[in-house]
Amino acid sequence: MLNQKVILASTSPYRRALLARLGIPFDVVAPNVPEKPLPGENPADLALRLAITKAKAGAALFSEGLVIGSDQVAEVNGVIMGKPANRQAAIDQLTLASGNRMTLYTGLALVNITADSVQSAVEPYYVQYRELSLSQIKRYIDTEEPYGCCGSLKSEGLGITFLSELSGKDPNALIGLPLIKLTDMLSNEGMEFPVSDAS
């Protein structure tokens, strides 16, 4: 149980870098899951559904192991945002976010292939945007090209300059993989971490 293979079902380099921080070996596969919301689906449910679907898609490629799926959905004033399709979509997303609070919902799922079990959760994270000018938004987009980032927010780059406040239980959720919750899930599957055996 302790030496089960860990697989990350994601093509995101940000999630890969975050998972590497846990110091465990893992493989990476592309889940190839459509990310379109269902009619009437709220952002938290969308993030959770996509995370579970990605983990299960990854699990279908292996006979055993623990497969991690994750997806992030942003919401501002009731409008759901995913990754921008192009420059204009990124401009529209950041124009809407300007001066408002964005909630980032990160869905997380862990599939145990052998046990045919799924652990899942949604971790919300909140960011408050400063008032942004159109010229600021365009310069940022042209510099950072945040097309692979939910809500066009590349917070590990210049996107952090657009924010005035951050809040949530796990700062890693901002980038797209809540490591605190993931550590709990992996511990539930018998994986040991350096500080997990405190007494």
Write the pLDDT tens digit of every residue in 75-91: 999 999 988 999 999 99
Percent of the chain with pLDDT over 70: 96
Task: List the chain pLDDT tens, one digit each, 199 residues.
Answer: 456 899 999 989 999 999 999 999 999 999 989 888 899 999 999 999 999 999 999 999 999 999 999 999 999 999 999 889 999 999 999 999 999 999 999 999 999 999 999 999 999 999 999 999 999 999 999 999 999 899 999 988 899 999 999 999 999 999 999 999 999 999 999 998 776 554 4
Q: Is residue 1 part of a domain?
A: no
Q: Is residue 140 part of a domain?
A: yes
What's the pTM? 0.91
Q: Is 71 a catalytic residue?
A: yes
Alpha carbons 123 and 183: distance in angstroms, whole number:
13
The pair of structure tokens assigned to 94 is 């950041």
Q: Which residues of 106-117 are buried (b: 16+ CB within 10 A; e: fewer)?
A: bbbbbbbbeeee
Write the pLDDT tens digit of every residue in 129-161: 999 999 999 999 999 999 989 999 998 889 999
Task: Show the domain range for 112.
Answer: 6-188
Total domain count, the chain: 1
**Alpha carbon distance, N-terminus to C-terminus of the chain:** 22
Q: Which of 27, 45, 71, 116 is catalytic?
A: 71
| CATH number of domain containing 99 | 3.90.950.10
Residue appearing with tokens 């924010």: 163
